[in-house]
Amino acid sequence: MKRKANVEIALTHIVARRKQTFTAALGVTIGVGVYLFMNSLSAGFSKFSRGEIFKNSAHIKIYKNDEICSPFIPNSKQDNVNVIVNPQITTLSKKIIDPENLLNVVKSQSYVTNAISQVYFDAFYNRGKAQIRGTGNGVNIIDYDAMFSTSKYMVAGSINNLQGNLNGIIIGSGIAEKLNLGINENITVSSSFGIVKVMKIVGIFTTGNSLNDQSRSYVNIATAQQFIKEGPSYVSTIFVNTPNADRSGYYAEQLQQLTEYTVEDWQTTSADLLSGDKTRSTLMNSISLSILLMTAFIIYNLLSSTIMQKINDIAILKATGFSGTDVISIFLMEAVIMGLIGTIMGMILGAVLIWMMSGIYMGGPVGYFPISFELSLFIQSFVLGIVITTCAGYFPARNAANVDPVEIFRK
Amino acid sequence: MNNREIILHTNSVGKYFYDPIKFKAIDDISFDVYKGEFLTLVGKSGSGKSTLLYCLSTMDTAYEGELYIKGEKVTGKKPNELANIRNCTIGFIFQFHYLLPEFSCLMNIMLPALKLNKYTYEEVEQRAYEKMKLLDIEDQALKPASKLSGGQQQRVAIARALINDPAIIMCDEPTGNLDSKNTQIVFEIFNRICHELGQTIIAVTHDLDFAKASDRTIELADGKIISTYENN
Ligand SMILES: Nc1ncnc2c1ncn2[C@@H]1O[C@H](COP(=O)(O)OP(=O)(O)O)[C@@H](O)[C@H]1O
Ligand SMILES: [Mg+2]
């Protein structure tokens, strides 16, 4: 009960007008709650789609890009004619020369947490007359698992069965279903280079992404190199993981200094996907921010009308020695108290909404709705709730501070 | 008489109003007020009494001339400094009591002292009870201000004006709203404040009996001092 005069006055006002206080706080509650909820939705979506991207793509990939010849080839000798040609791709092979060395250099960088090499090939999975087109990945399955947690998605067999087994293959569940094949059965795989191999299915995986499950398979690197008639020095892509996916653009620039091959971060690779993501989260952000601004308006209105009604009290406070600064602090405190109550209740509301949403089953590869409790979003909502209500309270409070007591007493 | 301490001094104070036309509401007002004096300002309605009092109170700063309180020039000081002067040197009593309705009588009286922040909360409470005892309202202490009769409310307002032991107490028609019995009570309190406690009172009134019972009366007409009486 031992309070400073300004605190005493602010608290008394708040308590005496609890109905209005509650209304204002409720407005803030809804604003902050919806803001938190919508941003969690958007963050959940982004996290989900990022997870989808990282299921079979790393933070950074290094590959040999197509080279296009210069259309104009000037001649060095004065009297000879210059040559103009149609620009065209001049890449003979997309292979990375001396991948072993490059991989080691990449791995030795301090910001590289993991790096693997990969060989892709166009694969045809056959059984009798049935044929499915897909992509074969030649990988070191143990390293690959360390990067992409493939073992998590295994529904039959084990990734260890592939290690060192040049005749083994791990296929997607969609392929197994369509060709009616099971574990330990044989599958005929051919490549666009005309290589045909009968391989043993040592594992089946389901990622939930039907496109993946119906086309992808994993074999050893050496096997993949045979499928495309290449020697052991052929590698199509080096995948690199870094400590922070959001900084991979910077890390990619660093890596680019080490090699003439194209170094591309995942944000560049998945730019179209990410721009969709960005559009959605911007939309959600602006909608929820508008709702929060409406909240600010509620506080502004309420405080303005309170001040109109309390103009006599403000005059008497100023007459008895309260300064303009004191008056501002009194009404600002009231706004902050309303804002604080509302914001805390809003975070509870948001948490309840998130919890309810996370229990909704969406089916398909999504499963349960991709939404979770993000501490950073709770902090963000809290700070924003307080800042906005404080700002909304400041303008009426400043008007209150400008009340001229003489004008009031003359009436 | 002449070696008394001057508590408030004005030097040719004047004030214009511009709405609806330019008009000088008070003109060339110069006078001294002494410590422990009970001074009344009288005059017809519209003669500029209130306007002058608001200039003296430091709340109105749009005047010409100079104002000195306790020998210090207050004309031209910043709003926050003036608020401070009001807080510790001046107490106000108005015709319409102007208590804060949400607060108890006790808290109404305590607030200016809590603002002054010179005494602890307990000391302030203690002092508020002393002032209430002086005004015979200590049994009303915990009631909300809005539940009191007019006379009681005016006494709470007086107690509030006294809480910081201000050197000067200014009143605008302090008895204008009171019956004769309550007017008598207020008058007796004012006399005690000046003559026993040594504080100064400047009261605007149109009650001539009340004015006659004060130490000195200044009469205004059309914003000018027309006469000064020593009432003895
Ligand atoms: N805000 C104002 N604007 C214009 N004229 C005013 C204002 N306040 C007071 N006046 C005028 O100043 C004169 C003095 O008023 P006031 O000091 O209230 O008189 P009193 O208190 O002696 O009755 C009156 O003529 C009044 O009409
Ligand atoms: Mg008047």
- Reported as a single tens digit per residue, the pLDDT across A152-192 is 888 888 888 888 888 999 999 999 999 998 889 999 999 98
Q: Does B62 touch chain A (CB under 8 A)?
A: no
Element (H, E) at A30: helix A18-55
On whether the CB atoms of residues B60 and B10 are closer than 8 A, the answer is no
Rounded Cα gap, residues B170 and A251, in angstroms = 75
Pocket test for ligand 1, best of B15, B24, B47 (most atoms within 8 A of CB): B47
Beta strands A154-157 and A196-205, pairing class: antiparallel
Rounded Cα gap, residues B169 and B230, in angstroms = 20
The residue segments making up the domain with residue B55 are 37-61+79-230
The residue segments making up the domain with residue A233 are 99-268
CATH number of the structural domain spanning residue B50: 3.40.50.300
On whether the CB atoms of residues A122 and A155 are closer than 8 A, the answer is no
Instruction: Answer with the one of A237, A268, A299 that is the final residue of a domain.
Output: A268
Residue B98 burial (CB < 10 Å; 0-12/13-18/19+)?
Answer: buried
DSSP letter for A151, please. G
Q: Is position A167 within any domain?
A: yes
pLDDT digits 0-9 by tens, A327-351? 999 999 999 999 999 999 999 999 9
Q: Is position B112 within any domain?
A: yes
Rounded Cα gap, residues A180 and A27, in angstroms = 59
Element (H, E) at B39: strand B38-43
Beta strands A114-127 and A237-241, pairing class: antiparallel
On whether the CB atoms of residues A62 and A104 are closer than 8 A, the answer is no
- pLDDT value, residue A92: 58
Indicate if A208 and A292 belong to the same structural domain.
Answer: no
Q: Is position A194 within any domain?
A: yes
Instruction: Answer with the one of A245, A268, A291 that is the final residue of a domain.
Output: A268
Q: What ligand 1 atom has the least distance to the C-alpha of B223?
A: 14
Q: How far is B91 from chain A, CA to nearest CA, in Å? A: 7
On whether the CB atoms of residues A30 and A346 are closer than 8 A, the answer is yes
Nearest chain A residue to B104 by CA distance is A12
Instruction: Answer with the one of A268, A301, A332 that is the final residue of a domain.
Output: A268
Q: What is the mean pLDDT of chain A?
A: 86
pLDDT along chain B (232 residues), means of 10: 78 90 90 91 91 92 91 90 92 83 92 91 93 88 86 89 93 83 85 89 88 90 89 76
B60 contacts: CB under 8 Å, gap ≥ 6? A406, B15, B51, B54
A327 closest CA partner among A400, A405, A407, A406: A400
Rounded Cα gap, residues A88 and A92, in angstroms = 12
Indicate if A255 and A288 belong to the same structural domain.
Answer: no
Pocket test for ligand 1, best of B13, B29, B50, B206 (most atoms within 8 A of CB): B50
Indicate if A326 and A232 belong to the same structural domain.
Answer: no
Instruction: Using CB atoms, pick whichever of B85, B101, B114 lies closest to residue A5.
Output: B114
Number of domains in chain A: 2
Look at residue A1 and tell me whether its pLDDT is greater than 50.
no
Instruction: Provide the whole-model pTM.
Output: 0.76
Chain B CB contacts of A323 under 8 Å are 79-80, 83-84
Indicate if A232 and A194 belong to the same structural domain.
Answer: yes
Indicate if A248 and A297 belong to the same structural domain.
Answer: no
Ligand 1 pocket, CB under 6 A: A 410; B 17, 19, 25, 43, 45-51
Nearest chain A residue to B55 by CA distance is A406
Indicate if A163 and A179 belong to the same structural domain.
Answer: yes
Element (H, E) at A377: helix A375-401
Peptide bond into B20 cis (omega under 30): yes
ipTM: 0.91
